[in-house]
Amino acid sequence: MTSSTPLMVLGTSSGAGKSLMTAALCRVLRRRGETPLPFKGQNMSNNAWVDQAGGEMAYSQALQAWAAGLEPQCAMNPVLLKPQGDSTSEVIHLGRAVGSCRAEHYYRDWFRPGWAAIRAGLTQLQASHPGGRLVLEGAGSPVEVNLQPRDLTNLRLAQYLRARCILVADIERGGVFAQLVGTLALLRPVERPLIRGLLINRFRGRRELFEEGRHWLETNTGIPVLGVMPWLDELFPPEDSLDLLERRGRKRGAELEIAVLKLPSLSNFSDLDPLEAEPSVQLRWLAPGEELGQPDAVVVPGSKQTLRDLEALQRSGLGEALRGYAMGGGHVFGICGGLQLLGQELADPDGLEGNAGTAAAGVGLLPLRTTFGQAKALRQRRSAAQWPVADGAPVELEGFELHRGHTTALEPGCQPLCSDANLGWVHPIGAQGGLVAGTYLHGVFESGPWRRRWLNQLRRRKGLPLLSERQPHHSRQREALLDRLADAFEQHVNLEPLLDPR
């Protein structure tokens, strides 16, 4: 086996931990002096990233690129499906939207174009990093028997590249032996030799208690168990919304509670990772229909379907509760789709989010009008923060735009959030100190100094001591988390059977 032989991480099911295990593998190979090239042929996610060329890709592949020490590029995820509701998804090929499709027609209409995009992505990625080793991530289960003939991103890709595969199973879910043995039993004879190792993930307790299970698996499958990864208490960036929904723990010492609206078409929830990682902040995810209460602030995150989420807010009464909260002195912050629905007017002349000519009144907390248009804004941005104002050096914000819709202020008194006046707005509201702000900049909370300035506004209101603004960019903390993940992987997983050249 040459150093460039591809490796692939498969899972017995969705949520088995493939994304983080792939990130760990990338970091470990990088430590060994290799150039790992993360690649997921097809991903379904509304948690997206925009690369330097303005291409759209899944956030999980961006995370894996950082683990590999590389700049994310959309060739690492050439097919991205973004669910829009009603069994329909937007189809992204090599970073660009190429259409939409209903689930029942996807393989009929998009299988061949998708496979072509995957091969083109492989060519682009390998051309940009000669000598690198592909580290592939599968999707869901590789043995969905009704989908195997139309598989785009699991064993078809493994066979095409002659990859060596690791099969990951989540022991926390229970039934780990059935997961592994059942998956292996459903493989076709030509596929079985591709599986070179098994990996048990999320094990609680003393690993020696699983030694009998390890021996049984190796004896009955003939495949080595490469390792048993423990349950990791570190807070890692989420792989998908399932991980997000499982975050229910309370933090000791949390001094601020920030409610985050869990919109039906929630997108880009990784924007909240830097707040989640603040020791003094407790996030409370709030779905339409649940009581708003009196949090210290409310964040309205991105939305894949702004008008549908706006309707859900208004229908549930949460929109009215938000208005009352802000008028009573509360602080509200919207990101992208959250910014749009906090405005006064939303117009959809081309029917991009529903019927052509649709117009709707927003929540009405920002004097903004948004008109949805065909062109999608996809670009990385840098802009100097003009709010919140604080002593000290100016703060530069960086992130990316990913939205349809052009927004304009309806009142001249609407203060710009940063030096680019079209990237965000701030608006005092009510007589009791209410404040509503929003931005199109995904990643706005990643700036440590700016995030702390924003949090210190809330802390002043509660009479709490202010936090230091001397805080690094969140990418530094993400790097440390990836290193700790790789440390655990190296401690608990033996890669030699996978990397053995024989």
Question: Among all residues, which ones are annotated catalytic?
Answer: 336, 442
- Strand, helix or coil at 14? coil
Token code pair at residue 287? 């779905």
| Alpha-carbon gap, residue 258 to 281, rounded angstroms | 7
Task: Tell me which residue of 303, 298, 333, 339 sits closest to 318, measured CA to CA.
Answer: 298
Residue whose pair of structure tokens reads 């991103």 in the numeric block: 153
Counting every residue, how long is the chain? 502
CB atoms within 10 A of CB 134: 21
Residue whose pair of structure tokens reads 């969905």 in the numeric block: 144
Task: Tell me which residue of 81, 63, 79, 62 sits closest to 120, measured CA to CA.
Answer: 79
Task: Tell me which residue of 109, 110, 43 sits closest to 76, measured CA to CA.
Answer: 43
C-beta separation of 170 from 13 below 8 A: yes
C-beta separation of 292 from 318 below 8 A: yes
Residue 253: Cβ-neighbour burial (10 angstroms; 0-12, 13-18, 19+) = exposed
Q: What is the dihedral of CA 415, 416, 417, 420, to 10 degrees?
A: -170
What letter represents residue 272's amino acid?
L
Report DSSP state, residue 421. T
Token code pair at residue 265? 């078409």
Token code pair at residue 396? 């530069």
